[in-house]
Structure 1
Amino acid sequence: MTNLDLSTKRILVTGGAGFLGQQVISQLQAQGANPDLITVPRSADCDLRVLENCHKAVHNQDVIV
């Protein structure tokens, strides 16, 4: 398996504010992800049930979880 260099990747983590999402973020950081490049969309600001918001949220992201 090839390791992916996460240090420069912009990562979107949906549900990142929840218990499981926080575990995902911790693992990403343990694998070298830059915390400043991890985005966690908040439902109050970005309702991902609306397709247009989904398009905006994923724009310029390298990895989506």
Structure 2
Amino acid sequence: MATIVSCPTCGAKVQWGPEAQFRPFCSERCKQIDLGAWADEKYTIPAVNLPEDLDNPDAEKLN
């Protein structure tokens, strides 16, 4: 039994396997749309605000 996934861009059903050339996307178009969104910085990964001292590796040595 083949695994069916949804295309992250358009939601179309895609059979997961070697025959799905653009998996997890349904097509080259959806793959390029997703790549363009990353390039335009539409997706972000939240960062934790670190103390400024962590930017300076010698900060501990000064104390």
> TM above 0.5, one fold?
no
Q: Which has the larger radius of gyration?
A: 2
Ranked by relative contact order (alpha carbons within 8 Å, sequence separation 6 or more), the top structure is 1
TM (norm. structure 2) is: 0.30
